[in-house]
Amino acid sequence: MAQAKKALAKKAGASRTARTKSFSNYIGGEWVASAAGDWLENRNPADTRDVIGRFPQSTAADVDRAVAAAAEAFDGWRHTPAPRRAEILYRVGEILMRDKEKYTRDMTREMGKVLKEAGGDVQEAIDCTYYAAGEGRRLHGFTTPAEMPNKFAMCVRQPIGLCGLITPWNFPMAIPSWKMIPALICGNTVVIKPAEDTPLSTYNLVKACEEAGVPPGVVNLVTGDGAVAGRRMTDHPALRLISFTGSTETGRLVALACADRNAVCSLEMGGKNAIIVMDDADVDNAVEGAVWGAFGTSGQRCTASSRLIVHKKVYKEFSRKLVARAQALRVGNGADPKVDVGPVINQDAVQKIMRYIEIGQKEDQATLACGGHRLTKGDYGHGYFIEPTVFTDVAPDMRIAQEEIFGPVTSVIPTKSLDEAVEIANGVQYGLSAAIYTQDVNRAFQAMNETYTGIFYVNASTIGAEVHLPFGGTKGTGNGHREAGTQVLDIFSEWKSIYVDYSGKLQRAQIDNKKAIG
């Protein structure tokens, strides 16, 4: 949180030209500036001279206004039949599809990831929108036998109410869509606050909702600082639910605020994900998975492959090939199709990642096998670029193998057996994703069963979730909820159990039916 704040101060303090585009909040179907008239600047992390625009620096008053709009729209939206809500949301999907290329370019410009990955982010929003809209004709409840004669029992989903959605910068359209579209199909109204560094991609998603005909007040967008606008959302008595994705540190604050007023709280936080590479693995395939998992999105994914636990029989070969691949990656502006790895998000991220690289070099046994520098020459000097970095000979308890770095840095850890590898994989505070490369089905299933994570891959990297499977993790990664899949409906709806007694007389459960067995 402190990091985001500092980044904001830096962005806001930078100079602005008269041509800077001004964006607005979206409240009650109107595009409005913040009540206080303050702004935050959005700059390109690959070239900070490039100002994307200024967005409202919202205060508690703006959040309150957005919540009031969501409250006013709630009855109309929840009474709109779910299949009709779905028709509108399908149109959102069509608009996202139509403008995918523009959204992709916008995302690379504000967030830095290479075009191919930004396109994947937009595609995930499209997939999520179609998939969740499909629930409009399902939203299944269930019936079950009642224990009394002439009595009927069933269970239905009902909307939870007004939802506050707080999102991070690393998947700036996909994650907002994961939260917003399921919330809407369930009949809730929402207030969304994107991360300070990436308001444009969420703005684009909200614009698509407006064009698709989502009624005024059903979706409200408030941009601004987490500690001010985000904090007001977590404290607002009318927001029945807060759905948060971000750092573990901020997630705890969100959970505490929700606990204080007994609001529902869904958290998706950090990861320290391991790929296990066994001695029978296809090493080249494992190296490709490691490179994609460790350096895609410059390592800024909660599912990043930040630990590579490699059997000692293939350790040398794997490390050598990994380092060669990492050194061959082209770092640069993600808008250039020849670039493999874009910048990191901001100056605070640079400092944090470089601090960890320093810690890794000081830790006794670890070897800095490649990378380790910030790139500053020529055009690099205008952005936040760090070399893909590999540490080898890392011990499982070192800080670089325990703490989430959220940058293009990975650690290779030698192991002598599958049992030991699984123990190392489980020996962190997080539990999001894990993977194994092996040709042996017994080992694959053993590792699948013994790793304590929410996601597991066999012969694939720790990343690559699909929207129709639940997404989330154990331990420090979350608080038991899952996004995506149909499981997300359990976050955004309340179960209501209904009993219909058509016997025409008083029947007492647990008492009268006992006669049946004397």
Which candidate, 437, 422, 433, 362, places its Cα nearest to that of 398? 362
The alpha helices in 14-170, defined as continuous H runs, are 60-79, 82-98, 100-111, 115-134
Contact 264, 160 (CB under 8 A): yes
* Shortest reach from residue 328's CB to ligand ADP, in Å: 29
Q: What angle do CA 279, 286, 334 make, to 5 degrees?
A: 160
* Shortest reach from residue 479's CB to ligand ADP, in Å: 14
Contact 181, 492 (CB under 8 A): no
Q: Which is nearer to ligand ADP, 136 or 194 (CB)?
A: 194
Contact 390, 323 (CB under 8 A): yes
* Shortest reach from residue 125's CB to ligand ADP, in Å: 17
Edge to edge, what strands does the sheet with 305-311 contain?
A: 367-370, 389-392, 409-415, 305-311, 273-277, 433-437, 455-458
* Shortest reach from residue 208's CB to ligand ADP, in Å: 20
Q: Which is nearer to ligand ADP, 67 or 148 (CB)?
A: 67
Instruction: Give me the sign of the Cα torsion angle 179, 185, 191, 196.
Output: positive
* Shortest reach from residue 196's CB to ligand ADP, in Å: 5
What is the DSSP code string of 266-330? Answer: EEE----EEEEE-TTS-HHHHHHHHHHHHHGGGG-STT-EEEEEEEHHHHHHHHHHHHHHHHHPP
Q: Which is nearer to ligand ADP, 407 or 414 (CB)?
A: 407
* Shortest reach from residue 277's CB to ligand ADP, in Å: 29
* Shortest reach from residue 195's CB to ligand ADP, in Å: 4
Question: What does the alpha-carbon distance between residue 484 and residue 169 come to, in Å, rounded to a whole number?
Answer: 18
Q: Catalytic positions, please? A: 268, 302
Helical (H) or strand (E) element with 516? none
What is the DSSP code string of 251-269? Answer: HHHHHHHHHHTT-EEEEE-
Q: Which is nearer to ligand ADP, 3 or 188 (CB)?
A: 3
Residues 6 or more apart from 181 whose CB is under 8 A from it? 89, 92, 128, 129, 132, 133
Q: Which residues bind ligand ADP (CB under 6 A)?
A: 1, 3-4, 166-168, 193, 195-196, 226-227, 230-231, 234, 246-247, 250, 253-254
* Shortest reach from residue 251's CB to ligand ADP, in Å: 7
Contact 54, 19 (CB under 8 A): no
Contact 170, 297 (CB under 8 A): yes
Q: Which is nearer to ligand ADP, 367 or 402 (CB)?
A: 402
Q: Which is nearer to ligand ADP, 237 or 504 (CB)?
A: 237
Q: In the complex, which residue's CB is closest to ligand ADP?
A: 226
Tokens for 415? 């192991």
Give residue 381's Cα distance to chain centre.
29
Q: Which is nearer to ligand ADP, 1 or 458 (CB)?
A: 1
Q: Which is nearer to ligand ADP, 176 or 372 (CB)?
A: 176
Tokens for 457? 């891959």
Question: What does the alpha-carbon distance between residue 84 and residue 3 come to, in Å, rounded to a whole number?
Answer: 42
